[in-house]
Structure 1
Amino acid sequence: MEHYLFSFSLLLLILHCTNTLSQSPASAPVAAPAQAPTHRPSHRPHSSPPPPGPVDVIQILLKAGHFTAFVRLIKATHVDTQLTSQLNSSTDGITIFAPTDAAFSNLRAGALGSLNDREKVAFLQFHILPRFLSTSDFQTLSNPVMTLAGSDSRYPMTISTTDSSVTINTGLTKTSLANTVYTDKQVAIYEIDKVLLPKYLFPPAAAPAPAKPAESPEIPKDVSGAISSVLHYNWAVVLGVVLVTATMFSL
């Protein structure tokens, strides 16, 4: 009997262990999947594009088609570099009086060839004002007008206006604005039909001295006395002949 009880108890123990092992452990809570970090857009201020560079004056003149001689001189003297520097360093702008090829062809032969390099630079600078001028701005200018060559007595320039024209006078050249080639509130280019000649670089030819009026030759006193004596002698001879003739006829 004890043997059966022991066997039954052992069976119950085995069944209990088997039941315990077959039970799965408590499920651990499932972790939520990690969320990817959100990339929020930065709130940096929007940077504006850099301002455009100054206009290419040479290309504008070449595109216009009849300023070849003027462009050639600007490039040969490197005045184009000065124009770029002027536009980059100042907000005043520039105004250019551009003579046409026909204007250069009307110059006296060899006029520009007589200038040295420094004078050629000054000659071109005389055609450029260091500020932007619209056609209406010419009405408020004070004379003499400042150019890149200066405003002293060596490079005088006066500008006058009427209802329909703008006239430039250098003392040697007088011309009017013929056309507006380009304007953009910073650069103004105006066509002129004559080359602007400053007196300092192109002095007018010296006028010949006026001829003295012809003077009567002066007769020396001794000669005039001799002539007077001869005249008195001749009159005495004539008078004597007359008297003799009259006496003969009276006899």
Structure 2
Amino acid sequence: MEASSSFWDLPFFFSVFVLVYFAGYFIVFRNWSPETRSEASSCLISFLHGTSAAVLPPRAIVSDCGGVFFSGCNTPSQITVLDFSSAYFFADLLHLAASSAAGDALFAAHHVAVLFVFLTCRFLVGQGACGILALLALAEATSACQNTWALTAAAAVARGTDAPLAMRLRRRVEFPFYATYSVCRGVLGPVVVYKMTSFYVSGAADDVIPRWVWVSWIVVIVAAHSVSILWIRNLWIQFFNDRYPTSGKKTN
């Protein structure tokens, strides 16, 4: 591992995300209810992370990944991306810890699992960032649409009948968000996971990444993709039920 990539990057990025969160809570969304303010502020830091994480990992991969894609030594630019994303998940964990919304426990478990992968890659083994960053880029490729979709829902709750624009925007982004999410999480992501698993199972990385580490990575990644596929499946079902409510009813 090329160490120097600044010990201070992680706390610095964490401070940035926390400041953006509080800016959203106390300034941008100050007229919303406390519950929707916190949700919208979480979307705000997710926007910052997601749009950046969709661009930074491919740059780090293209510029720094050598011939050994899944077990190469982490480079400074890759370490910076890992620190940046880890800082986001730490910041959002604080938001989830203060929230009592349904489903937050699942999101918190997801964040902890992702942090385990990032931090072991970053600090424990110092290898294998390329494959992890490729999955990160795919996961965040839909971030702009997803956060617009989530933010418009929060706006609709906060503003009620005063948010027709939010509801129209939500309906406009629904289909492209669901479609791109399905492709990234249901097709491209599993392809990368399959290649990663095949590489590790072959034993090609055993001399640089302990077996228990890469096995735990694969378990976490497969579980995360499985939950994502189930989640988007349920959204598609709701999408078609909302638009074609009578399609499943029998006619007499």
Q: TM-score interval w.r.t. the shorter chain? A: under 0.3
Structure number with higher relative contact order (C-alpha < 8 Å, ≥ 6 residues apart): 2
Larger strand fraction of residues: 1
Larger helix fraction of residues: 2
Largest Rg, 1 or 2: 1
Q: TM-score, normalised by structure 2?
A: 0.24
